[in-house]
């Protein structure tokens, strides 16, 4: 990918709006290009400034006095107790409007992030089976699978073997979701494959546990001990729930 292509995608990348393939090509490029990397860091810094409200400033006493004097001059009721109330109620409306807008925007942003994540989880699952690349390490031994992730991730995913309970661990794979490399553990039940994606919880992410179905796949999500878990398969909801229950134990 060229610098020009990368620059075009940087904004969407920083906002977490790219799909897995797009994110991966941006990351590959910035690993070799200092100029695009610094462009990305600038965007990130700007985004966090806006998020933390660091760009907000308080009006100086001088400015406040000037504004109040201008209002008083333009308003015959200025100075009376009534004026104080009007001022306060106008301010209250502004506060309410700002709060509503912020709430709606946050809600909208969260729900679009959720939709994107659901879609990416389904694509990762489908791709893992289509590309004949379901595992990078093939083993039903959790003592082989778990250490394989060491050095590839900055956390250690659990690799629970559930062969005895009818869900055979067949291996693990490195995948890319939620703008980061994540662990995918693969289980098999008769001819059905199950992907379990695991990564550490971010503070802003969806923390509500739940179950949903997308494009014919069943998905179960939960968080436990600081990790977020996404279990996906074409297996029926009852058996997938059983698998989730065993994994949570
Ligand atoms: Zn570049």
Higher pLDDT, 111 or 162: 162
Residue corresponding to tokens 């297996």? 235
> If you average pLDDT over every residue of the chain, what do you get?
85
Residue corresponding to tokens 């969806």? 206
- The protein residues having their C-beta less than 5 angstroms from ligand 1 (an ion) are 3, 33, 36
Q: What is the mean pLDDT of residues 174-192?
A: 92
Burial of 158 per CB tally in 10 Å (0-12, 13-18, 19+): middle
Domain boundaries of the chain, sorted by first residue: 3-52, 61-110, 132-248
The predicted pLDDT at position 113 comes to 78
In the chain, pLDDT over 70 holds for what percent of residues? Answer: 89
DSSP conformation letters of 127-165 = HHHHTT-S-SEE-S-HHHHHHHTBTTBSS------BGGG
Query: How close is the Cα of 127 to the center of ligand 1, in Å?
Result: 28
Query: How close is the Cα of 26 to the center of ligand 1, in Å?
Result: 9
CA-nearest of 124, 133, 146, 144 to 195 is 124
Query: How close is the Cα of 28 to the center of ligand 1, in Å?
Result: 10
Please count the other Cβ atoms lying within 10 Å of the Cβ belonging to residue 50: 11
Residue 90 pLDDT greater than 80, yes or no: no
Confidence class for position 84, pLDDT limits 50, 70, 90: low
Q: What is the mean pLDDT of residues 128-148?
A: 88
**Helical (H) or strand (E) element with 59:** none
Confidence class for position 54, pLDDT limits 50, 70, 90: low
Instruction: Kindly report the length of the chain.
Output: 249
The predicted pLDDT at position 194 comes to 97
Residue 162 pLDDT greater than 90, yes or no: yes
Residue 165 pLDDT greater than 90, yes or no: yes
Query: How close is the Cα of 219 to the center of ligand 1, in Å?
Result: 37
CA-nearest of 199, 231, 194, 232 to 215 is 232
CA-nearest of 113, 120, 115 to 177 is 120
Residue 220 pLDDT greater than 60, yes or no: yes
Query: How close is the Cα of 54 to the center of ligand 1, in Å?
Result: 29
Residue 121 pLDDT greater than 60, yes or no: yes
Residues 158, 201 contacting (CB under 8 angstroms): no
Query: How close is the Cα of 37 to the center of ligand 1, in Å?
Result: 7
Confidence class for position 99, pLDDT limits 50, 70, 90: confident
Residues 54, 64 contacting (CB under 8 angstroms): no
Query: How close is the Cα of 42 to the center of ligand 1, in Å?
Result: 14
Please count the other Cβ atoms lying within 10 Å of the Cβ belonging to residue 108: 10
- φ, ψ of residue 119 to 5 degrees: the values are -65, -40
Q: What angle do CA 81, 86, 88 make, to 5 degrees?
A: 95
Residues 7, 36 contacting (CB under 8 angstroms): yes
Higher pLDDT, 54 or 136: 136
The predicted pLDDT at position 187 comes to 96
Residue corresponding to tokens 């693969």? 186
CATH code: domain 132-248 is 3.30.200.100
Query: How close is the Cα of 30 to the center of ligand 1, in Å?
Result: 6
DSSP 8-state symbol, 80: S
The predicted pLDDT at position 76 comes to 63
Residue 82 pLDDT greater than 60, yes or no: no
Higher pLDDT, 132 or 57: 132
Residue 240 pLDDT greater than 80, yes or no: yes
Residue 179 pLDDT greater than 90, yes or no: no
**Residues 6 or more apart whose Cβ sits within 8 Å of residue 110:** 206
Query: How close is the Cα of 177 to the center of ligand 1, in Å?
Result: 23
């Amino acid at each position: 990918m060229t610098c020009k292509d990368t620059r075009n995608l940087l904004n969407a990348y920083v906002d977490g709006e790219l799909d897995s393939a797009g994110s991966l090509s941006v990351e590959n490029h910035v690993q070799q290009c200092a100029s695009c990397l610094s462009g990305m860091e600038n965007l990130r810094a700007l985004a966090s400034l806006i998020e933390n409200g660091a760009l907000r400033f308080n009006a100086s006493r001088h400015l406040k006095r000037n504004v109040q004097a201008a209002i008083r001059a333009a308003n015959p009721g200025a100075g009376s107790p009534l004026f104080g109330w009007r001022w306060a109620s106008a301010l209250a409306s502004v506060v309410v409007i700002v709060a509503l807008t912020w709430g709606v925007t946050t809600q909208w942003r969260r729900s679009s992030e959720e939709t994107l994540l659901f879609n990416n989880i389904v694509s990762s699952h489908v791709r893992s089976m289509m590309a004949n690349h379901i595992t990078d390490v093939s083993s039903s031994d959790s003592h082989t699978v778990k250490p394989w992730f060491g050095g590839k991730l900055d956390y250690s995913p659990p690799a629970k073997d559930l062969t005895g309970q009818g869900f055979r661990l067949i291996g693990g794979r490195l995948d890319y979701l939620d703008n980061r490399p994540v662990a995918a553990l693969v289980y098999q039940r008769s001819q059905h494959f199950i992907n379990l994606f695991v990564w550490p919880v971010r503070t802003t992410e969806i923390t509500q546990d739940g179950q949903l179905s997308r494009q014919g796949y069943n998905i179960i999500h939960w968080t436990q001990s600081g990790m977020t878990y996404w279990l996906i398969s074409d297996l029926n909801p009852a058996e997938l729930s059983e698998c989730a229950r065993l994994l949570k134990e």
